[in-house]
Amino acid sequence: MVNLGSQLPAFVPTRHLEHFLKSTTYLAKIALILQNAPDKMLTFSQLLYRLAPLIPEPKKSVEGNIRVCLSSNNCFVKVPMKPGSQDSKKNYWKLDTQQITGKMVRRHFRGILEVFPELVSKVQPPSRQRPSVSSAEPAACKREVKFSSPFSIESILRRDSPYVQTPRPSPLSVPCTAEQQPGQHLFSLKRFLFF
């Protein structure tokens, strides 16, 4: 591996460099660079220049990935170089830590929270996130909600149960009157089944 120690920012420990390069995401790397930038803002080209030692991929693919990362995450804010212009081609990018959610902290900032002390409060230990099993909950919360529909399991089982079924007359069990001929009954039965 190339010696990048002199090019790397001070917050990247050189003894853990390989692990850092592989384990951190684009979001975390961009956040680290912006956090340690003067005024905590950089242009896109300045950001690319500072990210170059941290990302060992071809430059073209890195540019696209960084553009997508900057524009798709609310924690990166575009600040115009000229305060009054909205359609400026030159903009600064700034990190807004208020927009970083707990989920983002757990996914992207896992090993670098010492650089972002304001994000530590957004991550709670797993024991505090889940309610304990022994906690007393009101009975209303424990009540089981049943699915009631003609297609629910309970409804289907009730229909199949011999105790619940109501007897229906079978078309074959219709009594013949004395006036009906056996052939006539058969014809009316066929008509009943097919029409």
Q: Which of 35, 10, 28, 25 is nearest to 95 (CA)?
A: 35
pLDDT at 158: 76
Q: Which has more confidence, 123 or 97?
A: 97
Residue with tokens 């000229």: 82
- How many Cα atoms occupy the beta-carbon half-sphere of 192 within 13 Å? 11
Q: Which has more confidence, 155 or 178?
A: 155
Q: Taking 90 as the threshold, does the pLDDT of residue 120 lie above it?
A: no
Mode of pairing for the β-strands spanning 91-95 and 76-80: antiparallel
The pLDDT tens digits of the residues spanning 1-47 come to: 444 444 455 555 565 566 666 767 888 888 888 888 888 899 999 99
Contact, 112 vs 93, CB < 8 A?
no
pLDDT at 41: 92
Sketch the domain layout of the chain as residue ranges: 14-125
Could you give the CA distance from residue 82 to residue 92 in angstroms, rounded to a whole number?
10
Own/partner contacts of 62-71, CB < 8 Å, gap of 24 or more, are 65/26, 66/26, 66/30, 69/26, 69/27, 69/30, 70/30, 70/44
Q: Taking 70 as the threshold, does the pLDDT of residue 73 lie above it?
A: yes
The number of beta carbons lying within 10 Å of the beta carbon of residue 140 is: 6
pLDDT at 7: 47
CATH 3.40.50.1000 applies to domain 14-125: no
> Ranked by mean pLDDT, which of 101-115, 123-137, 146-160 comes out on top?
101-115
Q: Taking 80 as the threshold, does the pLDDT of residue 119 lie above it?
A: no
157-183 average pLDDT score: 59
Q: Amino acid identity of 65?
A: N
